[in-house]
Amino acid sequence: MLITLVEKELIGRTTEILMELEYDRGTLIIRGQYAVPFSTWDNRISAFRAPAFRYRDIVEFLRRSLVEFSDYVMNPPPIEKFKKISVPLREYQEEALNSWLSSGMRGVIVLPTGAGKTLIALKAMEKLEVSTLVVVPTIPLMRQWSSEIEDKLGISPGLMGGGEKDVRFVTVATYDSAYLNAELLGDKFMLAVFDEVHHLAAEGYSHIGEMLAAPYRLGLTATFEREDGRHFLLPMLVGGIVYSISPKELAGKHLAEYEIVKISVDLSEEERKEYKEAVEEYKRGLSSIGLEMRSPDDFRQLVKMSATSRTARDALLAWNRARRIAINSESKLKALENLLLAHKRDKVIIFTEFNDMAKEISKRYLIPLITHRTPEKERNEILQNFRDGIYTKIVTSKVLNEGIDVPDARVAIILGGTGSRREFVQRLGRVLRKRAGKRAVIYEVVSKGTKEVSISYRRRRGVSS
């Protein structure tokens, strides 16, 4: 084809040149005599260029316009055969899948954590039988998806992330790795599955969505909305919400029932003093730079100013100090002790906001610790022991937040945490894995009379009944 083109150019015949679509590092190159939508003239190559994610739109446009064209865009890895998935879907999973299929194989499915999103995606892959990229937030999740794919579809997927770089018919990549290698991955997959799809809307990660040509896209999440509002990008990059069901609708039937118990603790004398000092320094700083805290934007303003203003920086440090005192308070550890004693026989997962706190708890109470730095082998061993009942307590910072299959704990204790609603829902989900007759308890331990109380209020909005 290329050679014929050359000949035509050289002979100087300017008669009909076929339309040609070609992939180039996260973009499409469109040659030929017709203009197509979403494309821009690129002087550097004397052809039109469009973002790769418009591939489907452009092909549909050309077909509708009855224009003949050659399509060299997709370049998938060698095909591999899936085996049939033996596990049946639950009713709502079936509904979710059908809804996605009938929406043109684009769109987001919103399901609570623990409701079996992975299985829906695997069924979709089984149905389509096309090259597929699964994008996940963390390396543990990448491994987990990988073993699910091996188990249910009977093929071993390629992995991208955590030092691995292997592209196969089905490939699982972390968002980080997919971002870095988007140019390379863009033409390889017909279907893209985004686990925890709300991440895709982040400024950098949105490039993944833009640079993939994949005409079929599936997003999975428990929380579609982002606090920064950027989820407005998702309908363009993945498709709109095609199915949604809330934890409340599933509680009892498919998920364990749960209750939330809030425990307020007092700061110690010393902590209270330090806390007060820090808060006052923070306020002094604010008033001397003339900033009032009325919305998250004002806070962002402070962070920006701290790059150039010494006062703003000190105010910010004071705020951090106050927050750390409130979150890591000694009285919280006392409360934790009481809860541990009350649940001596139960499986308990303890969540902390900061690594330091998690380490302190592990050190002090000799409870196995999982942080993002825990080697994979050790983490798996700890989780396995927890599942087998050898260990009955685990402490973790933020690692277990998302999607990782944690064995069925009955009790979750949250020591501090940010005001993000998503994080709370996900942690909640950990203990909500369906177990007959199990009623889960979630303890939330906050410091009385500190800003944390309002953070906790924000977190529960829309979750507790």
Partner 1 sequence: MLPLQLLRARRSGKKLILKFCTGKDVEMELAEELISVFREHVGRKVGDLERELEDLEERYEGIGVDFKLVRGLSTLLERKCVIETKETKIKPDQIRRIVFERAAKFGGFTINEREEIIKETAMELSLDPSEVEELMWADWDENKEIKEFSAPTAAELLKEYNQSLLQTALFRAIRMDLFVKGKSEEIKLLIRDIKAKGLMYYAESLKDGIRFLIDGPASVLKLTTRYGTSLAKLVPTIISMDSWRIIADLRMRKPLILEISDSSRDLFPVREIIAVEYDSSLEKQFHNIAVSSGWEVIREPYPIVSGGSIFFPDFLIKKGNVRMLVEIVGFWTHDYIKKKLQKMKQISDRMLLIVDRNLSCSRFFEELGDIFYFDGKIKYVELAKKLSEIERMRGEAEILPSDVGDISSLDEISSRLGFDKSVLIEKLREKVPAGYVFTGNLLLKEDILKEARSLIESCERRDFKSISSILLGKGIPERYHMALIEAAGFKVIFKGLDESNAEII
Is 353 one of the binding residues for partner 1 (CB under 8 A)? no
H, E, C per residue of the chain: CHHHHHHHHHHCCCCCCCEEEEEECCEEEEECCCCCCCCEEECCCCEEEEEHHHHHHHHHHHHHCCCCEEEECCCCCCCCCCCCCCCCCCHHHHHHHHHHHHCCCEEEEECCCCCCHHHHHHHHHHHHCCCEEEEECCHHHHHHHHHHHHHHHCCCCEEEECCEECCCCEEEEEHHHHHHCHHHHCCCCCEEEECCHHHHHCCCCHHHHHHCCCCEEEEEECCCCCCCCHHHHHHHHCCCEEEECCHHHHECCCECEEEEEEEEECCCHHHHHHHHHHHHHHHHHHHHHCCCCCCHHHHHHHHHHCCCCHHHHHHHHHHHHHHHHHHCCHHHHHHHHHHHHHCCCCCEEEEECCHHHHHHHHHHHCCCEECCCCCHHHHHHHHHHHHCCCCCEEEECCHHHCCCCCCCCCEEEEECCCCCHHHHHHHHHHCCCCCCCCEEEEEEEEECCCCHHHHHHHHHCCCCC
SS3 assignment for 281-297: HHHHHHHHHCCCCCCHH
Q: Does 349 bind partner 1 (CB under 8 A)?
A: no
Q: Which is nearer to partner 1, 66 or 366 (CB)?
A: 366
Q: Does 84 bind partner 1 (CB under 8 A)?
A: no
Touching partner 1, residues 180-239 (CB under 8 A) = 183, 207, 210-211
Near partner 1 by CB under 8 A, which window of 13-21, 74-82, 152-160, 372-380? 372-380
CB atoms within 10 A of CB 275: 23
CB of 97 to partner 1, least distance (A): 33
Q: Does 304 bind partner 1 (CB under 8 A)?
A: yes
- What mask, x for binding partner 1 by CB under 8 A, covers residues 97 to 136? ----------------------------------------
Number of residues that bind partner 1 (CB under 8 A): 46
CA distance 240 to 233: 10
C-beta of 183 vs 266, nearer to partner 1 = 183
Instruction: Provide, rounded to whole angstroms, the least separation between the CB of residue 228 and partner 1.
Output: 16
Binding flag, residue 246, partner 1 (CB under 8 A): no
Question: Which C-beta is closer to partner 1: that of 255 or that of 394?
Answer: 394
Per-residue x/- mask for partner 1, residues 423 to 452, rule CB under 8 A?
------------------------------
CB of 52 to partner 1, least distance (A): 9
- Among residues 35, 66, 307, 436, the one that binds partner 1 under rule CB under 8 A: 307
Answer yes or no whether residue 150 interacts with partner 1 by CB under 8 A.
Answer: no
Of 126 and 346, the one with the shorter C-beta distance to partner 1 is 346
Interactions with partner 1, residue window 373-412 (CB under 8 A) = 373, 375, 378, 381-382, 390-393
35 binds partner 1, rule: CB under 8 A: no
Q: Taking CB under 8 A as the rule, does residue 22 contact partner 1? A: no
- Among residues 19, 30, 36, 50, the one that binds partner 1 under rule CB under 8 A: 50
- Contact between 249 and partner 1 by CB under 8 A: the answer reads no
Q: Which stretch binds partner 1 (CB under 8 A): 159-167, 243-251, 344-352, 432-440?
A: 344-352
Residue 407 token pair? 């064995």
348 is an interface residue for partner 1 by CB under 8 A: yes
Judged by CB under 8 A, which of 13, 63, 300, 363 binds partner 1? 363
Task: Give bridge partners of residue 159 from the DSSP assignment.
Answer: 172
Least Å distance, CB 379 to partner 1, is 10
Binding site for partner 1 (CB under 8 A): 2-3, 5-7, 10, 24-27, 40-44, 49-51, 183, 207, 210-211, 304, 307, 337, 340-341, 344-345, 348, 359, 363-368, 373, 375, 378, 381-382, 390-393
